[in-house]
Amino acid sequence: MNPMRLKVGVCAGWMIAVVWGAYGAERTWTGAGGDTLWTNPQNWQDNTAPAGSADTVVFPAGTPPNVLINQDQAIKTIYFRNPGMTLTIAAGAHLSLINSGALTLRAEEDAVIDGDGTLSFSVNTGENFADNQAAPGKTLSIRAKITGQNGFEHNGTGGTIELANPGNEQVGNTLITSSGAISVPSVANVGVPSTLGVGQSFKFTVNNTTFRFTGTSGSTDRTFYQNAGGSQDVTVEHTGSGTLAFTGKFLSGNNNSHGFIFNVIDPSGVIENSGVIENGGTGRLWLYKRGAGTQILSAANTYTGDTVIDDGTLGLTASCSLNAASPLRLRGGRLLLNAGTPAANYSAAFGALRVDGADSRLAVAPGASSATVTFASLEHVSGTFDITADGLGTTTKIFITGQPDGLIGPWATVNGGTDLAAYSSTEGIHAANLPAQTL
């Protein structure tokens, strides 16, 4: 035997052993051991249970769907490939997912992490948290409590991760870094354990991402950052029938021009923004109101992008103001002024008003002794426009800078569409006393 070859072979064998130990093994669940225990070697291929934080775990399709962790475990990555899989962490047990800023959880089918135990994710430099993913159209529901110094990051494409435990204690922020959704049934303020942990902010970094609230009502003072690229919009969605209150800021975290879409699905649902909505950087932040429900703004907002109403109601309270550089675009739905508790003497000025959709409506809430509203201009692109207010043209005056006296157009009506709308430099918008169907 050639001594040199022997030496190289031994060295090569040692090197292979070192590399194997460093990178761990892939452990595949079979569930053949007659119970659901993670620690039972007979439940794993080759009768070898996962051995530590370098191992990767796979739960393949067609295997028993329930697994119980009843003592502390440390794992690199878990793949859920079995539809309806539930991984339960028993009380007193902890699951540590350790892979720096790389992949720790991947749900390729619907899966649940449940139980009275806890789990945590590896801490990494800055906000490059451990990656967690759900495949397109799939949901990973994490119901066990998340703890630790880490934040939480969803960077799967097209899937949903539900953070369901109201006692989550992770310290860092919550991020969506690839198209998909993070869904929560409840929220709380910064520093209070909640589905989003105790971190200070929620950050969107790409478009087609969604923060979805599935509870009835709730309130949080977190800051929401729009950090996506230029012209890339992100969505805040409320599916419940109560009020979801945001008392913190919404702003852009970079210098791009993009928007927040507020989608209030239930007709009885309300999103309240009492925190300021602002550009943040040098770009223009847009606001889109969608869904059959209501959104209420009550702060002195400074964002300069368009305010677009596609559906439902966008209400502006007496304390709310919009930047004069922010045009209001009605593409359907209703703009409600002096919303909430009405001011006795309401006065407000806004930027340009553009009508660009069927059934677009403007209303001033009843309850004020007097109301004076001024728009910088009025432009009609398409659709119909109806204006409703008590004492329109007398106690309620809606002025439009540069608008000529006379009929506004056959597309503009008052009082629910019964009369054509006219304009006067002294009365503002008022009924023309001509039935709408005459033109």
Task: Tell me the DSSP string of 30-43.
Answer: --TTSS-BTT-GGG
Q: Average pLDDT for residues 382-392, to the nearest whole number?
A: 97
Q: Sheet of 73-75: strands edge to edge? A: 73-75, 94-97, 118-121, 145-146
Q: Please report whether residue 290 resides in a domain.
A: no
Rounded to whole angstroms, how far apart are CA atoms 124 and 97? 12
Position 19 pLDDT exceeds 70:
no
User: Can you give the pLDDT at residue 131?
Assistant: 97
User: Can you give the pLDDT at residue 438?
Assistant: 46
User: Can you give the pLDDT at residue 23?
Assistant: 65
Q: Please report whether residue 400 resides in a domain.
A: no
Query: What's the token pair of residue 136?
Result: 């397109």
> Range with the lowest mean pLDDT among 22-26, 351-355, 410-414?
22-26
Domain count of the chain? 1
Using pLDDT thresholds of 50, 70 and 90, give the confidence band for residue 50: very high
Say what the pTM is.
0.93
Q: Please report whether residue 335 resides in a domain.
A: no
pLDDT by residue (tens digit) across 310-347? Answer: 999 999 999 999 999 999 999 999 999 999 999 999 99
Structural domain range at position 72: 23-155
Q: Which residues of 276-298 are buried (b: 16+ CB within 10 A; e: fewer)?
A: ebbbbbebbbbbbbbbebbbbbb
